[in-house]
A and B are shown apart, each in its own frame.
Chain A
């Protein structure tokens, strides 16, 4: 329906008369009055006019030639019920007047009419018409707005509930009906409290009173989240926007209620997912985090029980790793059997998920023939079940399973979300696994480094310590809490030449890799043997070097003791020579002295006394030599060694042994061959090799001793014509406890000690031997040492 808003409407007049004179005279008159005048000569024309256009008023001659005037009036009224029709009749009988009036004619005029009369009637008719149009306009507007309001109210998915001041429901829409499940007649006129859980009712009452007394509400304009109560007694989360208004009679409330079950579910799912993420991020181990994840997911998504299954690849089964539930004791058998169960691939819900790698659910486990735990689940009141895999890189590490007292029809988003949780857990497990492996490796390494009986230092290219094990700290600088950051020179205090060599070793190793030979250094009265080694880190492009040092003080002492013991053992053989050497002059002394006792001739006595002096001097010299040899070697200082003198002295010492026999000694010495060493150590080298040579010759043969300078080295060769060394022993002749002598005759330590001493002075010893023809030992000592 359209509303005519023609402002000229009430000024437009239709004149219907079959008498043209009357039509013209009336038109002239009314046009002169300012009206817009149309004319019609027949009833049919009149009806058409009124139907097609709208008029402020119609003047109708009742006696028309074509149609009965009354019929025309009826038709006009139908076309426009509000149209004022003024009847013009030449017949002023009552029949002609009352009838049309009752049919809605506006007025009657009986011909002849005065123009004043016509003008007045028309004016009045037009005014009424204008009023009626206005009223119609208002009515249209009102019904339109209500129409719109209703359609909006009814079509919205939000529930709209309107209550009057006392809290009784006076209106609600179809959405509200759907939401709360009540029929209209069950709700209208009832208090609002019937659609809210009892726990809200008191607060609602207080709010209602406050609004009525003060006209304000705390919640108006602020949507709040509450719970609604359905007819079936279930609750659901809702968001309420409240409006309050006053009519003339009372205060009214309008509530726009939105069911936020979905939103809440999504929110809780998000919260659950966040909780899972957080739990995973914070957890140190999976066992620790498992229960937290299950609880978060169960609480967030309204599950009643959750279990995590992990794959046991060896046994080919899934085992329950963790379980969480909020069930009553009736569920105990189900919980316990779940904990105890194992699932093979493809069997049961977890086994199926393991097999497929995809989430799976069972709408109602009590009705599922493939659910082994169905009877116990029924006892626990569980129905819905859902499981999803813990996956990483396509591999299933485990399965997470949930149960609910409700049947389960998971929406797509939930499955997606659980899929995300599954891969999160998978990543976590992998990360933990990697971390655990890393930590284990680290801990193992740490434990090794801490428990090593060695000092381990790592230095960077600036010779700053970047790692030191506790032993290094304790031995090198116990007063410092850490060595890290210290310069190597502060940690390892060495004489200049040893320091220079250490730095060179470390730098060479750092730059070229490989490993260096071991060297001995003395720090804080401890002797350490060190070996540098290269360190190349994948993440650290700059070169570092490690230094492993171990305390060889005791070893050194033992070695010294061993050297001493060996010396004593060779002394045993020398002692016979000594005895002879000493006893002979003593015999002389004793004899002379005894003769003197009975000699009266002063000249003879003098002569004997001279002999005694000579003998005594000899004894003194022998003892002095002997004492030199017997002195511990390690702690006497280094002096310039005259090599030829020491060889000669060694030969003299060995010559006194009984086994020396008739060995011929040949010497070829270059003069003034010297190097720095401990004399007793060098003596030990020569005595050892020469006495071995003499022994090998069995009292007869030739001992050839040579000494010369070769490439700034003192070279010595000691050649015998003895039995030689068997080829199978030649390679290990310098190893300890290797001896060519008869059992019980040699310790097998002599040459190993010789080797150590020679090595100590940076020298080299080699041997050539042919069995049955003799051996040649060649020794080189550097004359200058770094």
Chain B
């Protein structure tokens, strides 16, 4: 299920897709991002995330995918590979509880924008997301889609 958390006041431009199988992880993150002014879409696994990206009118409407790696069904790695091949313009930030250098390197080579290790502080999360979303928003504007 995709949950959309509407941005709070002090709206910032941008939409973030949060992919994590654990509701207890998704929930505070969504709240934080919403409070920071983002529109948040949640997905609990890769499959839902792909659905979410495809179901929208324009995939470029998602400005950053915040994605966990270990998830049932389609896991993060598979999902990211799919995103990179289908929606190469959408920046992806990985957030994992499983620090694995090999995996990190491989993901960065695939074009992942950043790599966060759980637990992530609010400040760290927001700074990464802000940079990523802002960049995407600027790019979007420039290419004037």
Q: Which residues of A contact B (CB under 8 A)?
A: 576, 579-592, 594-595, 598, 608, 611, 614-615, 658, 661-662
Interchain nearest-CB distance for A626 vs B (Å): 14
* B24→A611 contact, CB < 8 A: yes
A588 to B99: give the CA distance in the assembly, Å: 17
* B25→A591 contact, CB < 8 A: yes
Which one of A584, A594, A595, A662 lies within 8 Å of B24 (CB-CB)?
A584
Q: Mark B44-87, 1 if CB is under 8 A from A, else 0.
A: 00000000000000000000000000101101000000000000
Inter-chain contacts of A580 with B (CB < 8 A): 70, 96-98
Q: Mark B111-145, 1 if CB is under 8 A from A, else 0.
A: 00000011111100000000000000000000000
Inter-chain contacts of A615 with B (CB < 8 A): 24
* A582→B97 contact, CB < 8 A: yes
Inter-chain contacts of B118 with A (CB < 8 A): 583-584, 586-587
Which 5 A-B pairs have CB atoms at the shortest separation, nearest pair first?
A591-B28, A583-B97, A588-B24, A583-B118, A594-B122
Inter-chain contacts of A614 with B (CB < 8 A): 24
* A579→B99 contact, CB < 8 A: yes
Contacts known (A584-B22, A662-B72); A591 close to B27, Cβ less than 8 A: yes
**B29 contacts partner chain A, Cβ-Cβ < 8 Å:** yes
Q: Which of B28, B29, B119, B121 has the most CB of A within 10 A?
A: B28
| Chain B minimum-CB-distance residue to A588 | B24
**B100 contacts partner chain A, Cβ-Cβ < 8 Å:** yes
* A579→B28 contact, CB < 8 A: no
A576 to B117: give the CA distance in the assembly, Å: 13
Which one of B29, B97, B98 lies within 8 Å of A591 (CB-CB)?
B29
Given A576-B98, A591-B28, A594-B28, 7 extra CB contacts under 8 A: A579-B99, A580-B96, A583-B98, A584-B97, A587-B95, A587-B120, A595-B28
* A–B Cβ pairs within 8 angstroms, 18 of them: A581-B97, A583-B96, A583-B97, A584-B97, A584-B118, A587-B22, A587-B28, A587-B29, A588-B25, A591-B25, A591-B29, A591-B32, A594-B28, A594-B121, A595-B31, A595-B32, A595-B35, A595-B122
Inter-chain contacts of A576 with B (CB < 8 A): 98, 100
A580 to B72: give the CA distance in the assembly, Å: 13
Interchain nearest-CB distance for B115 vs A (Å): 14
Inter-chain contacts of B20 with A (CB < 8 A): 584
* B119→A579 contact, CB < 8 A: no
A151 to B113: give the CA distance in the assembly, Å: 154
| Chain A minimum-CB-distance residue to B20 | A584
Interchain nearest-CB distance for A598 vs B (Å): 7
Contacts known (A585-B24, A658-B70, A662-B72); A590 close to B97, Cβ less than 8 A: no
Inter-chain contacts of B22 with A (CB < 8 A): 584-585, 587-588
A582 to B118: give the CA distance in the assembly, Å: 9
| Chain B minimum-CB-distance residue to A661 | B75
A583 to B35: give the CA distance in the assembly, Å: 23
Inter-chain contacts of A585 with B (CB < 8 A): 22, 24
Interchain nearest-CB distance for A413 vs B (Å): 106
Inter-chain contacts of A608 with B (CB < 8 A): 28
Range of interface residues on B (Cβ < 8 Å): 20 to 34
| Chain A minimum-CB-distance residue to B21 | A584
Which one of A581, A583, A592, A662 lies within 8 Å of B28 (CB-CB)?
A592
Inter-chain contacts of B120 with A (CB < 8 A): 587, 590
A679 to B31: give the CA distance in the assembly, Å: 43
Which one of B35, B75, B119 lies within 8 Å of A589 (CB-CB)?
B119
Inter-chain contacts of B72 with A (CB < 8 A): 662
* A586→B73 contact, CB < 8 A: no
| Chain B minimum-CB-distance residue to A585 | B24
Q: Which residues of B contact A (CB under 8 A)?
A: 20, 22, 24-25, 27-29, 31-32, 35, 70, 72-73, 75, 95-100, 117-122
Inter-chain contacts of B75 with A (CB < 8 A): 661
A582 to B29: give the CA distance in the assembly, Å: 17
A580 to B32: give the CA distance in the assembly, Å: 21
A583 to B25: give the CA distance in the assembly, Å: 10
| Chain A minimum-CB-distance residue to B73 | A662
Q: Which of B25, B35, B96, B117 has the most CB of A within 10 A?
A: B25
Q: Which of A576, A591, A594 has the most CB of B within 10 A?
A: A591
Inter-chain contacts of A584 with B (CB < 8 A): 20, 22, 24-25, 97, 118
Inter-chain contacts of B117 with A (CB < 8 A): 583
| Chain A minimum-CB-distance residue to B97 | A583
A592 to B122: give the CA distance in the assembly, Å: 10
* A590→B119 contact, CB < 8 A: yes
A662 to B28: give the CA distance in the assembly, Å: 28
Contacts known (A580-B70, A594-B28); A587 close to B122, Cβ less than 8 A: no
Interchain nearest-CB distance for A646 vs B (Å): 25
A661 to B98: give the CA distance in the assembly, Å: 15
A210 to B97: give the CA distance in the assembly, Å: 135
* B97→A587 contact, CB < 8 A: yes
A643 to B29: give the CA distance in the assembly, Å: 41
Inter-chain contacts of B31 with A (CB < 8 A): 591, 595
A22 to B10: give the CA distance in the assembly, Å: 223
Inter-chain contacts of B119 with A (CB < 8 A): 583, 586-587, 589-591
* B99→A594 contact, CB < 8 A: no
Inter-chain contacts of A588 with B (CB < 8 A): 22, 24-25, 27-28
Interchain nearest-CB distance for A652 vs B (Å): 15
Interchain nearest-CB distance for A592 vs B (Å): 5
Inter-chain contacts of A582 with B (CB < 8 A): 97
Q: Which of B20, B118, B120 has the most CB of A within 10 A?
A: B118
Interchain nearest-CB distance for B14 vs A (Å): 19
Inter-chain contacts of B100 with A (CB < 8 A): 576
Inter-chain contacts of B27 with A (CB < 8 A): 588, 591-592, 611
* A590→B99 contact, CB < 8 A: no
A93 to B95: give the CA distance in the assembly, Å: 202
Interchain nearest-CB distance for B31 vs A (Å): 5
Interchain nearest-CB distance for B76 vs A (Å): 11
| Chain A minimum-CB-distance residue to B68 | A584
Inter-chain contacts of A592 with B (CB < 8 A): 27-28
A242 to B29: give the CA distance in the assembly, Å: 146
Which one of A579, A589, A598, A611 lies within 8 Å of B97 (CB-CB)?
A579
A614 to B28: give the CA distance in the assembly, Å: 14
Interchain nearest-CB distance for A601 vs B (Å): 12
Interchain nearest-CB distance for B71 vs A (Å): 10
Q: Which of A592, A594, A608 has the most CB of B within 10 A?
A: A594
Q: Which of A586, A588, A661 has the most CB of B within 10 A?
A: A588
A582 to B27: give the CA distance in the assembly, Å: 17
Q: Which of A579, A586, A592 has the most CB of B within 10 A?
A: A579
| Chain A minimum-CB-distance residue to B120 | A587
A61 to B29: give the CA distance in the assembly, Å: 202
* B97→A594 contact, CB < 8 A: no
A615 to B98: give the CA distance in the assembly, Å: 18
Interchain nearest-CB distance for B136 vs A (Å): 23
A580 to B99: give the CA distance in the assembly, Å: 9
| Chain B minimum-CB-distance residue to A656 | B70
Interchain nearest-CB distance for A427 vs B (Å): 86
| Chain A minimum-CB-distance residue to B95 | A587
A594 to B28: give the CA distance in the assembly, Å: 8
Which one of B25, B32, B95, B98 lies within 8 Å of A594 (CB-CB)?
B32
Inter-chain contacts of B29 with A (CB < 8 A): 587, 591
| Chain A minimum-CB-distance residue to B122 | A594
Q: Which of B22, B35, B73, B100 has the most CB of A within 10 A?
A: B22
Interchain nearest-CB distance for A767 vs B (Å): 30
| Chain A minimum-CB-distance residue to B117 | A583
A594 to B35: give the CA distance in the assembly, Å: 12
Inter-chain contacts of A581 with B (CB < 8 A): 97
A106 to B73: give the CA distance in the assembly, Å: 184
Interchain nearest-CB distance for B121 vs A (Å): 7
| Chain A minimum-CB-distance residue to B99 | A579
* B28→A598 contact, CB < 8 A: no
Inter-chain contacts of B98 with A (CB < 8 A): 576, 579-580, 583, 658
Interchain nearest-CB distance for A694 vs B (Å): 14
Inter-chain contacts of A598 with B (CB < 8 A): 35
A737 to B23: give the CA distance in the assembly, Å: 43
Interchain nearest-CB distance for B27 vs A (Å): 7
